[in-house]
Structure 1
Amino acid sequence: MKTKLSIITLALVPCLAAAQLPETGIKQSVTATSDSLIVKYKKNASAQMRKQARSSVKAKISDSNSDEIDDNYKFLLSGRLAKFNITGMSTKEAIKLLKKHQAIEYVELDYRVSIANIPNDPRFGELWGLNNEGQTGGVVDADIDAPEAWTISTGSRDVVVGVIDTGVDYNHADLSANAWINPGEIAGDGIDNDGNGYVDDVHGINAITNSGDPMDDEGHGTHVSGTIGASGNNNEGIVGVNQDVSIAGCKFLDASGSGSTSDAIKCIDYMVGLKKFGCKHTRIK
């Protein structure tokens, strides 16, 4: 049976799940890093042209085999993205130079984003005077008709959803049964069995540490995962929109809830790469 792979960037959307999984939200403000840029090369840019562009601003990239393809973005846009680590000049100066270079399609700042500082008090969601989401009262049947949808399908473990966020607690009682298992990895052997650059990425990756463990140390990603796919009919906690699904954790936000655009893109690149490393699918959303 083929696997359907859905890439869903969920770190930047409000939370919708019930209070039994941690309640958090999203800030509107972002800040730029002071020493890195995200660059997209033109389709016709050769390795030599890429190197010239990078050298013009004295930038470094993660490139273990010297092919001018960033190791962290090998699959997304056919390797045309790169994170430039800038030294010796400001990012503003570097952007000005790169915009004029024939190899560059666009360049932008590497931003840092963070989740909002929502209190963890269990009844905060009832305080409509502080944050009104229509949680008291409301209109009957103003919902997504999940029970009606479940008469058609409750989901499938063959659908893989990548949650790009603070990670996922794949041991959570209401999520463990729906945690994605990488068919190309052998858990705990310390070997990159599928050759995708991550050791023991059984349930996903940590883009911050470049490791194969997406365990959530903040809570937001686990909360979002509960909305998507908390197990159904297990007499435990809540239920997700998909009672059956495979959730792959892609951690780019740290324990403080902050992370960089470049690491978020690294997570997307990982999900795109799954079609090459052990995850057959019919489409990518």
Structure 2
Amino acid sequence: MKRTSLLIALVASLVLMLTIGCTDLVKVMAASPEVVENSSTFRMKGLPSFNAIEARQGIEVTHDTRGKAGVVVTTNLKDTTLLNIRVEGKTLIIAYQPQVTNLGHKVKTTVSVSAADIVDYQASSAASIEVCEDFYLPRTLSFRASSAGSIRARNFEATSVSVKSSSAANIFLDHFSTRHTAVDVSSGASVQLQRIGGGNLSTEVSSGASLSLSGHASDGKLSASSGASLDAAALHLKTATATASSGASVTLNAEQANTDASSGGSVKNVFKRK
């Protein structure tokens, strides 16, 4: 009887594998972490100091630049030890344990971080970071998003700003001032930078990605390739260099511009003298 039951189970497993494939079979057999109806909230204790935040695996993070330093977690996980929140070097990493691979849509974790002088934000694997308060940082400020991660911030000032978005990720920055802004967008990602206040700008957009800019800057180096889109019609530039290639498009608004389009690319300057 036991031998017959085992044989039936093996045949069923084989049929399932042939039907949905080995990768999907692993996903089916790996149960999602157990969740509870009422989420629990707790404060992390004993964390070392940090000046960077990295969010992973769909976790939602908010950053308060003015509040009392601390990290507060709200989650509906029944087993909170499945969370993996730690400081490596100077980076606060907010993630799940490595063995947690099948999260499902029911798992929800939000983390509220209070800390001043954060210089680097990273979001990956559908995680999100939102900076809630305005702030000033007398150094380089970095925003990096990948694999459908997202970052949002507004009302800030920094010496320079570095933005990098890839693999369907999204970064939205609004109303900021800086001496220099460097932007790199690729692989279907999108970046929106609104109400830029001064300084110079360098951009690289490629592989179907999109970049939208508004505000004003003194000088801009704008480059798009491989089907990417760069819309800077609402960004007033004094001088600019713009290039587009391989089906990409660039729209700019510059008093003086050097432009170059090749291999099906297009560059359009919409500036009109009053």
Whether these two folds match at TM > 0.5 is no
TM (norm. structure 2) is: 0.20
Greater strand content: 2
The answer to which structure, 1 or 2, has the higher relative contact order (CA under 8 A, 6+ apart) is 1
Higher Rg of the two aligned structures: 2
